[in-house]
Structure formats: C-alpha cells, structure tokens
C-alpha cells in the first residue's frame, strides 16, 4: 500500500529524518517497506501492511502513530485537533432520512450525516496532490474528501445525493439488506452488475443505490448539481464484503479495508474530520441530521499483564515505567493494579482488533522496544535423549530386512467378512462385509496373492498389524485381547523349493534380533491343527520356537492349485520380548577358513535340524558354521533323501592344516554313522 512521506509529516515531526530512515524503522518495528520512490518534492513508501493489522493500519494516521511510538515522539497538535473534532447539529429545511438495517450481523454500525448547502466544485490543490501521490484521481471536492478521509484515518466513506434519494423514495427511506438472486445495479464506473443472493446492498424506493462497502451506485452519485448530501461512514462485516468481492470479481480500496473488519467507533472520527474539511473547502455547511444505528457499542478490552511474564517471554528486563511508556505511546490506557506493582491492567483501543490477550501486549512491547536490543541467548533446556520406543524400532527393523529381501508391505482391514474359527464376530458390525475381527494375518495376505496372480508370477508380501485372540483366564472366563503380529507370504516361480527359501528368510530375520536358539517343530497339537487348517496345509506346517516358547508358524498355504505358496506368522510381542538388545563383538579372524562338503543319505522322515544338531554335538570347536546347500529325494536313492552341507572350519590361533581338518571331519562322520546315516563318498 502506498503512503506519502509529506502526508505523514502532518501528524509527526520528522525533521532531520529521511524517508529512507523511516522505511528502515518501519521495517524493523512494524511492517516491511518494499520500496521508496521519489515523487517531485515527496517520497512514496510502499508498505506491506500485514493482514493482522489490515483493520487499523491501512491509513496515514495509523502509520504516523507507529512512527511516534518508535521514535518516542508526541504527535503534532494537528493530530490532537483531528481526534477531538465535534459535530454540531442545526435546523434545516431537509426532511429526515429513515434508515432500516435488516441484519445487525452484517452491519455492526451505520452512521451518516445529512448536510445542506454543499458547493460541489474542483478540489483544492493540496487535496489533489495528496490523492494523486498515492495513485488516486480527483473527481470533485465531495468525492475526493471521502477518499482522503479513508486514506487518512482508515474509515471508508460514501456520499449520496440527498435529492436523488428523495426522488427515488418519497418516503425518504433507505434499506440496508442482502441482495436477492437476479437483482442488478449500475455502479459508479458505469458497469451494470447482476447480483447473486447474499451481497450487502442499500435500497431506496425499490431500487438499488449502493454495493455496500464496495462501490456506490450511479443513480445517487454526486454531480455538479448536487446541493445536499448524505455522508455515510459505516461499519460492514468483513467476511460479507470479502465474499461479495469474490462473487462480483471486483475489488476497491474500500472493500480491501472492510474485508479485514474495522473499528465501529472510527465513524465518529471520520465524520467529525469530514465536517471540518468541508467547511474549509466549501464554506459554511449545515448538518441537519445525524443517523446512527449502533445496537451493540464496542468497548475497550481489558487485559491484565504480568510484568514478570512479559520480561520472561521477551528475554530482557524492562522496568515497569518503560513498559507503561511503550504501551501508552501506542494509545493503550494503563490502569492501576492492586498486585503490588507486579502487574498492570491495560485497556486496548477498540481499533486494535488484534490485541486480545497478554501475549499480544508483550509482542507490542517487544517490537517497539526493538528486537535488535534483545540479547541473543542459548536456551537452557534438558537435552536428554527421549526414551526409544522399542516396539516401533523393532517394527522398522523388520520392515528394512524384509524389503531388502524383495518383500512388499501391505495393509489389510482388521475387519473380515468370514465368521469362522479365525475370526471374532462383532455385536455391532460397521458394514455387512466387515462383521468379524481377524485373529491372524495370513488370510488377508493369501487373498492379496490370489488377487495379484494374474499380474505377477512371483510374489513376496508381508504385513505388520494387530490381531485379536481369545483365552480363558484363571476363573475360566473368556477374555479377548489384541496383540501385534507379523506375517509374510511367498509365491516363487524359479523352480526352487519355496518352503526352504521362506524358512531361510525367517531364520535370518529372527537371528537379526540377536536370537540364536530357534528351531522348527512339526509336532502340532490337535487344537493347533484345527485352528490353522483353514489357511495352512497341516501336513507341510511347522512351529517356530525359541527354546520352549512358541513364536509362530511356517508352512504351505492351502487352495493354490497349480502353484505353491508358503507363509509364516510370528507373534511380534514374543519376538520383541526375546530380543537381545545388547551385542557382543569379537575381532575378525586373522587366519583363513577351510571348507569341506559332506553328503549323507538318511530316511525320508529325517529333519535337517536333527542332522545339524548331531554335527554340532561332535564338539569340534573349530567348526564355525554349517550350511545346507542341497536336498534331494528320488527313486534312485531307494526311498532315502540326500542332504549336502558346507562345513566351515577356522581357528583364531593359527591356519588349520589339511591333516587337522581331516581329523575333525572323521570325528563328525563317526558321530553321524552312529545314528545309522550313510555317508556318501
């Protein structure tokens, strides 16, 4: 918004202070000054008035008051005269105008003066100069006066030709109301505007004469023949005006001010100032009627300010007198307090709609005092690290591992449409297809695979989510509780045995949590088989255990004709409880390892875990790792299966010789042969 430097000097002494210095001060304490340009003997400042001060600072008087507070200067006598001008009524020939306001919410205050004996003429040079300096244009002295007052004190004004209103409405009635759909008005710019419902308008004799708060109507405009006027200085609801400008696609300087809401009490200042200037420009004028619709008078807000809190928030120690001086310079009224000097009671001017609580007052004190004067201090706070959410950390570790192995995470609904042994019926379902709570994650993942079979031949999915379980407590009462579960499914197309591939993923995942005593058990109880047979092929299903504690299940999924899908589900709560968070480190081996292969023939019911256990029980300390790399079963093996292992030997003290490794192998082979297993040479 544009402001004239010479205009500002009417209200405050700026001797020896340049326009550039004013721009710097305003930028540091109030608003950013975007540019300063020379205009003849004047300087024009383009000030970015923020939205939170749009209700009071879009005028020269408010900016001058800001400068007075910053410079610790008192306003000139001209300012004091301006704010104390009164309006005297006189007898006249004009009959009174009746104003009807149909909505108090949209019109908090409607104020106007009926004035006789106006001489419409060209404006004086000083008035034209000020308006043109900030981008306005001169029309005549009455219209220019309304624009000048708006730019001076921030109150939009409008002048109606009294006699034209009387011709439209012999009853002398003006109605302020909301428009109806399809109504129209020709505005002062000569444009005929069709209105939608809800736009604030003024009507006289069933004809619209004004787009309230935006632009007047051509039918009541001031012209050379005008003798009597109705001078309006009203307060209209900001959101209503903003909505109207959006609907019309038309903005004015007045609407820009109104849309931020303004102080209803500003009308008195604007009307008093207008009469004073009219007398200067046109000679004696007679105010014959004062119209004032003001149902709910706005009063100053009372705010209690704790001085210690103010200094604490600002980070600087200001005296009581300094705080009071700053507030009074901004036109706040400071009252005495009975708190022993620890607090003050402040009355905020009604024009300061943005000041509603103590923190607002503290902000005013800080910006006028100067943020640059406040010393920079590092905050003194406790920098202790927050407690780690272990459950969330473990979930993220699971996600990273499975994603690195090619799995994609999915999220399914906790509600299902099947009432079975693996779902808990709801008493009050949210939908017909969501009548149960799930008791495991595998069914949802299995359905995800089926839905994607037509798009992909190899699928790896996992899910981390809540499931619901039911158990009997000590009193034989059925209780239901929820817990975290982890499940994954795999559909392979590369010809490899998917169960062992998935088993390897599960083992590596569990071992990444520092758990080593994991093993797989196919001895399922009858109730477990009944519980799992809906989703798993129980003949290809194993328990996953940590020591003697059940962790979950791993096996082949049912109902996948033509392909084999496998899945696992783990109790995430058990996994996190068994996790070893502490890690033990040992130095890297200095000496090379030696690898030998070992193949055995064993009965088909022999488990890999049994063979691994026997190998490890050979008590060969130098045996550091055993890996299964082949499993084969065929007719040529006489109904036996072949298991092939990599055995890795390594010493931390020396390089092992072939002879030493041969001795270790012989010890292991002897142990295996004693179990009746044949060693393939």
* Amino acid 637: pLDDT: 77
d(Cα 516, Cα 583) in Å, to the nearest integer?
13
Is residue 497 a contact partner of residue 545, using CB atoms and an 8 Å limit? no
Residues forming the annotated binding site for Mg(2+)?
354, 360, 363-364
Percentages helix, strand, coil for the chain (3-state, rounded to 5) are 30, 30, 40
Query: 2-82 architecture in CATH?
Result: 2-Layer Sandwich (3.30)
Q: Identify which has the larger pLDDT, 85 or 673.
A: 673
* pLDDT of residue 532 exceeding 80: no
Please, what is the average pLDDT of the chain?
89
Please state the rounded mean pLDDT for residues 563-573: 89
* pLDDT of residue 229 exceeding 90: yes
* Amino acid 285: pLDDT: 87
Q: What is the 3-state secondary structure (H, E, C) of 56-83?
A: CCCCHHHHHHHHHHHHCCCCCHHHHHHC
Superfamily of domain 98-293: Phenylalanyl-trna Synthetase, Chain B, domain 3 (3.50.40.10)
d(Cα 646, Cα 266) in Å, to the nearest integer?
93
Domains 2-82 and 301-372 share a fold: yes
* Amino acid 194: pLDDT: 93
* Amino acid 524: pLDDT: 67
% of the chain surpassing 90 pLDDT: 61
Residue 513's nearest CA partner among 647, 667, 393 is 393
Please state the rounded mean pLDDT for residues 472-498: 80
What CATH number labels 594-680?
3.30.70.380
Residues 6-17 have pLDDT tens digits of: 999 999 999 999
Structure tokens belonging to residue 13: 């002494």
pLDDT interval class at 498 (50, 70, 90): confident
Is residue 140 a contact partner of residue 121, using CB atoms and an 8 Å limit? yes
* pLDDT of residue 282 exceeding 90: no
pLDDT interval class at 23 (50, 70, 90): very high
Q: Which residues of 121-136 are buried (b: 16+ CB within 10 A; e: fewer)?
A: eebeeebbbbbebbeb
pLDDT interval class at 494 (50, 70, 90): low
Candidate from 74-88, 238-252, 420-434 with smallest mean pLDDT: 74-88
d(Cα 326, Cα 342) in Å, to the nearest integer?
17
Please state the rounded mean pLDDT for residues 47-59: 93
* Amino acid 476: pLDDT: 72
Is residue 628 a contact partner of residue 639, using CB atoms and an 8 Å limit? no
* Amino acid 39: pLDDT: 93
* Amino acid 518: pLDDT: 84
Residues forming the annotated binding site?
354, 360, 363-364
Please state the rounded mean pLDDT for residues 550-557: 89
- What are the residue ranges spanned by the domains of the chain? 2-82, 98-293, 301-372, 390-578, 594-680
Residue 65's nearest CA partner among 334, 327, 270 is 327
* Amino acid 336: pLDDT: 75
d(Cα 408, Cα 488) in Å, to the nearest integer?
9
pLDDT interval class at 24 (50, 70, 90): very high
* Amino acid 60: pLDDT: 94
Phi, psi (degrees; rounded to nearest 5) at 669:
-60, -40
679 has which bridge partners? 600
d(Cα 528, Cα 526) in Å, to the nearest integer?
5
pLDDT interval class at 561 (50, 70, 90): low
Q: Identify which has the larger pLDDT, 635 or 147.
A: 147
Determine whether domain 301-372 maps to CATH 3.30.56.10: yes
* Amino acid 80: pLDDT: 61
Separation of CA 12 from chain center: 43
Structure tokens belonging to residue 460: 């790896």
Residue 167's nearest CA partner among 222, 231, 220 is 220
* Amino acid 523: pLDDT: 62
User: Residue 650's CB: how many other CB atoms inside 10 A?
Assistant: 16
Residue 176's nearest CA partner among 236, 217, 231 is 236
* pLDDT of residue 141 exceeding 80: yes
* Amino acid 530: pLDDT: 56
Is residue 168 a contact partner of residue 207, using CB atoms and an 8 Å limit? yes
* Amino acid 429: pLDDT: 85
Altogether, the residues listed in the chain come to a count of 681
Please state the rounded mean pLDDT for residues 152-160: 95
Please state the rounded mean pLDDT for residues 36-60: 93
d(Cα 629, Cα 644) in Å, to the nearest integer?
6
Is residue 272 a contact partner of residue 85, using CB atoms and an 8 Å limit? yes
Highest-confidence range of 307-311, 490-494, 605-609, by mean pLDDT? 307-311
Q: Where are the alpha helices (DSSP H) in 475-517?
A: 498-511
Candidate from 139-153, 391-405, 538-552 with smallest mean pLDDT: 538-552
* pLDDT of residue 379 exceeding 90: no
601 has which bridge partners? 642, 678
What is the chain's alpha carbon radius of gyration, rounded to the nearest angstrom?
Answer: 44
Residue 399's nearest CA partner among 507, 499, 486, 489 is 486
Is residue 208 a contact partner of residue 186, using CB atoms and an 8 Å limit? no
Is residue 414 a contact partner of residue 466, using CB atoms and an 8 Å limit? yes
Determine whether domain 390-578 maps to CATH 3.30.43.10: no
Please state the rounded mean pLDDT for residues 121-131: 94
Task: Name the one residue in this structure whose structure tokens are 């109207």.
Answer: 244
Please state the rounded mean pLDDT for residues 262-291: 91
* Amino acid 299: pLDDT: 93
Please state the rounded mean pLDDT for residues 638-667: 91
Residues 415-449 have pLDDT tens digits of: 887 655 567 888 888 888 888 888 889 989 998 99
Is residue 488 a contact partner of residue 568, using CB atoms and an 8 Å limit? yes
Please state the rounded mean pLDDT for residues 548-559: 86
């Amino acid at each position: 918004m544009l402001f004239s430097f010479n205009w500002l000097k009417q209200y405050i002494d700026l001797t020896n202070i340049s326009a550039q210095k004013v721009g710097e001060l305003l930028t540091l304490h109030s608003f950013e000054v975007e540019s300063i340009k020379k205009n003849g003997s004047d300087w024009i400042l383009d000030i970015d008035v923020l939205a939170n001060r749009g209700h009071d600072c879009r005028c020269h008087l408010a900016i001058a008051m800001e400068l007075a507070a910053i410079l610790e200067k008192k306003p000139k006598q001209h300012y004091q005269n301006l704010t104390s001008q009164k309006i005297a009524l006189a007898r006249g020939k004009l009959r009174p105008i009746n104003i009807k306001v149909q909505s108090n919410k949209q019109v908090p205050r409607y104020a106007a003066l009926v004035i006789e004996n106006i001489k419409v003429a060209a404006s004086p040079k000083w008035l034209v100069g000020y308006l043109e300096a900030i981008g306005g244009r001169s029309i005549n002295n009455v219209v220019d006066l309304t624009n000048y007052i708006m730019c001076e004190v921030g109150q939009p004004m409008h002048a109606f030709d009294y006699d034209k209103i009387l011709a439209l409405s012999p009853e002398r009635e003006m109605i302020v109301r909301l428009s109806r759909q399809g109504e129209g008005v020709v505005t002062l710019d000569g444009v005929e505007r069709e209105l939608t419902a809800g736009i604030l308008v003024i009507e006289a004799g069933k004809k619209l004469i004004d787009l309230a708060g935006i632009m007047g109507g051509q039918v009541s405009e001031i012209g050379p023949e005008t003798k009597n006027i109705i001078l309006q200085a009203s307060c209209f609801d900001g959101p209503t005006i903003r909505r109207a400008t959006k609907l019309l696609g038309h903005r004015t300087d007045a609407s820009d001010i109104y849309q931020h809401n303004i102080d209803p009490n500003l009308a008195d200042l604007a009307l008093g100032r207008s009469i004073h200037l009219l007398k200067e420009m046109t000679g004696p004028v007679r105010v014959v009627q004062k119209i004032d619709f003001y149902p709910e008078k706005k009063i100053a807000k009372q705010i209690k300010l704790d001085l210690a809190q103010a200094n604490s928030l600002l980070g600087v120690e200001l005296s009581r007198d300094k705080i009071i001086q700053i507030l009074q310079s901004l036109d706040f009224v400071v009252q005495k307090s009975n708190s022993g000097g620890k607090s003050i009671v402040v009355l905020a001017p009604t024009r300061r709609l943005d000041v509603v609580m103590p923190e607002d007052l503290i902000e005013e004190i800080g910006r006028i005092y100067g943020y640059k004067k406040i010393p920079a201090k590092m905050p003194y706070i406790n920098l202790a690290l927050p407690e780690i959410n272990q459950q969330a950390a473990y979930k993220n570790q699971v996600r990273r591992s499975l994603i690195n192995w090619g799995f994609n995470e999915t999220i399914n609904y906790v509600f299902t449409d099947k009432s079975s042994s693996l779902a808990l019926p709801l008493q009050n379902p949210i939908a017909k297809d969501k009548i149960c709570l799930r008791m495991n994650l595998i069914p949802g993942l299995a359905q995800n695979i089926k839905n994607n079979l037509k798009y992909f031949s190899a699928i790896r999915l996992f899910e981390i989510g809540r499931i619901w379980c039911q158990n009997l407590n000590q009193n034989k009462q059925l209780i239901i509780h929820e817990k975290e579960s982890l499940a994954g499914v795999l559909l392979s197309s590369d010809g490899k045995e998917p169960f062992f591939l998935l088993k390897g993923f599960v083992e590596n995942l569990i071992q990444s949590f520092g758990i080593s005593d994991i093993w797989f058990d196919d001895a399922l109880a009858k109730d477990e088989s009944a519980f799992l047979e809906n989703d798993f092929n129980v003949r290809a299903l194993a328990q996953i255990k940590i020591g003697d504690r059940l962790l979950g299940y791993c096996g082949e999924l049912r109902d996948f004709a033509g392909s084999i899908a496998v899945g696992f589900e783990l109790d995430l709560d058990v996994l996190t409880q068994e996790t070893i968070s502490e890690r033990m480190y040992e130095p890297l081996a200095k000496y090379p390892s030696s690898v030998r292969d070992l193949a055995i023939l064993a009965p088909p019911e022999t488990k890999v875990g049994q063979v691994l256990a026997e190998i490890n029980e050979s008590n060969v300390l130098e045996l550091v790792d055993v890996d299964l790399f082949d499993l084969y079963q065929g007719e040529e093996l006489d109904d036996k299966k072949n298991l092939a292992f990599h055995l890795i030997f390594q010493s931390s003290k020396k390089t092992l010789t072939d002879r030493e490794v041969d001795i270790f192998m012989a010890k292991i082979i002897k142990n295996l042969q004693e179990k009746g297993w044949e060693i393939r040479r």
